[in-house]
Structure 1
Amino acid sequence: MNNAEAASPEVPPILSMRDRAQVVNEILADRLETIIPEIMREQKVSMWVLTAREYFESPVVATMLNAESLHARRRTILIFFDPGDGKPIERLTVSRYGLGGMFDPAWNPDKEPDQWKAVADIIAERDPANIAINTSELTAFADGMTLSQYNQFTAALPEKYKSRLVSGEGLSIRWLETRTPRELEIYPGILRVAHGIIAEAFSRKVITPGKTTAEDVVWWYRQRVNDLGLKAWFQPSIAIQREGAEGMLEGDEIIQPGDMLWTDFGITYLRLNTDTQHLAYVLKPDETQAPEGLRAGIAAANRVQDALLSSYKTGASGNDVLKVARAKAIAEGLDPSIYTHPLGYHGHAAGTAIGFWDNQNGDERGDYPIHAGTTWSIELAAYDKVPEWNNQRVEFRLEENAYFDGSKVTFLDGRQTELTLIPSD
């Protein structure tokens, strides 16, 4: 991890599918051994029951399947049980199929055909003080138990255990948001792949000023990602800001010399996601540098980043951090918009929100506390007037990925501090 971004980075080699599976399984085994005991004891949960159906995996269960299990099979039920006294957490699977040795099989359909009865028997045998299930009104990440499964589960459950059911919301968020040392070893390299692809997109290899459209670059991204054997987790964006033009120009708009380009791009690789926004400038024939006003604008966005990064605090809510960061930026004469979010197994990942582009005053989704050991997409914008464009108000959007260790935030693969320059000839 570092705070300086490489200029024109190349896309590093991509692992084979077999090697990817090995990495994914190593990371999953480590997470199950280390994170599960920590969060169950932190949340004071004795048992956690997770359910999924084939092609309808919950966000949590999807991250607990080994690399060879591309989907849950039929109905997959996972059970974690803490016997107490510092003993190892039991990891059980009540399903017809194993999960790569990550969970101990705990159901023999020949002896007990009723899967839900088998679950109820496991619960009665262990007599947990409470049972977390994934239901949540606030976040989809912890709302994986469907109504039909809840009804079948509770119908099979002995009456005395029904009052012991609790929400697994805290467990789900903590599982998804927590990064391990092994994940942090590979995350910068994953981001370097994304940065390398953006560097290609913002070059004459892809863009011919006066000919290439914004939409052309969007579909170049999609094709490039597919050719690398990767996935884009959202449709990439390319937009143009131009002197005298209002707002962002997209679609069939042709890229011209003198345009400032914006991109929003993210990939999924080794189950982790990136989310990046960069800026570029298309040089006019007689230019060797972007106008000073545009360069000042990206510097202003960097200063908003600094205000935000210095405001992170363990235990503070996302709303708290938003308020402090905005106050710092405004005190410096900046015009900020902050809409930062967690990043990890999902692009817009589990955890607290730090602002929304359409709400800079705090939100219930920003009430959750910030924890150490989490990764973030530092997404924001600064607005600035550009003298060379007749004082046109321009939006300078940046998004970089970073890690919070509890005391400081470090970018995974640097941050953009200069506009990428694209020659016009």
Structure 2
Amino acid sequence: MVAGCSGAGALGGEAGAQTVTVAIVSNPQMEDAIKLAPQFEAENPGIRLRFVSLSENEARAKITASVATGGGEFDAVMISNYETPQWAQNGWLTDLQPMVDATPGYDAADFVPSVRNSLSYQGHMYAVPFYGESSFLMYRTDLFAQAGLTMPANPTWQQVADMAARLTDKSKGKAGICLRGKPGWGEMMAPFNTVVNTFGGRWYDPQWNAQLTSPQFEQASQFYVDLVRNYGEPGAAQAGFSECGTQFGQGNAAMWYDATSAAGTVENPDESTVVGRVGFAPAPVVATPSSGWLYTWSLAIPKTSPRKDATWKFMSWMTSKQYMQRVGTQLGWTSLPPGSRLSTYQIPQYQQAAAAFGPTVLNAIQSANPQQPTVQPVPYQGVQFLRIPEFQDLGTRVSQQLSAAIAGQKTVRQALEQSQEYASTVGESYQ
């Protein structure tokens, strides 16, 4: 389970050094942070770092269990704008605002406002963003040219499906599109929910009546399942963000709809074989003007940590303007953690390296609308998730049903009938 337990200084160090244990998600930008961590230790000899690096689903489960029970295993935890306001309200997290305000040059006003607000509770930040993201459509410009296709400036999902049909060549192992089908509220549910929203679907009406068997929700679900079954990657029912990143980066998919944070990876020659041949378009729509999500991987300090000052010293290092410069000069400018700071988009070298995707990413993050994610009124907030405590379990259960439909084990209607029961049980507790 633990992909990278030993941190930079886990093999020892001077007597009296504090060991800060950091639970982190094993995405590329986070792996970069672990690579650079020895430099932090060299500059802060009294602090040793120990990383527990986990896949997204494992990280969410392990971190939630630890923080909710006051387990105290971790000094810093990587969480998102889903957990932060709820956990702050529960009293599980340390209020970071006094530390933020007391740190010279940290400049919290530089954080992208929508991201900063999503990590705040009662006007105080309880987590600081490592990167922010929305969602967009990546596509192979060379394959489009060969097929005589042009990506619309603001594509619809039907246009995407038509293009995927023309670009699929199963005999050569080439998928028209990569879409997540791996179960998990933060895996398949993330892109899937944006499709539901823009089709006009919703999880609940304002009276908390479940709507998963409504025509709009069923139409969106059938579309998503058919698209990935007919034109998606092999083994789609077990493909998440990482798996789709590999498929697209190795040239096995013509399009990939996913997180904007993937842009740096697909344009990194160490990670991708399609560098310079990728175009970027806004998240596809149907009935809404935009449909990109709003998400941020961020760092927080559980209330239980006895090493808050040392932990903040590391967290502020990893989320600072100076860290951006460090990544750019040492690892390459496309490797910068995107979408957290406005100043990132003013760095000349980054503007040049991210010319193909930088403006699209920032615009997607700033135009995401968690307050009104779909066509009709809803009693919850969130684009790719519902900001209610039950969604971790509910979203995962529903994703398991839909993943089974992608695998051909049941029909979409069967999946949604079971999902409606799950959602109704949750909705009743709010009525």
Q: Which has the higher helix share?
A: 2
Q: Which has the higher strand share?
A: 1
TM > 0.5: no
TM-score normalised according to structure 2 size: 0.26
TM-score normalised according to structure 1 size: 0.26
Larger Rg: 1
Greater relative contact order (Cα < 8 A, sep 6+): 2
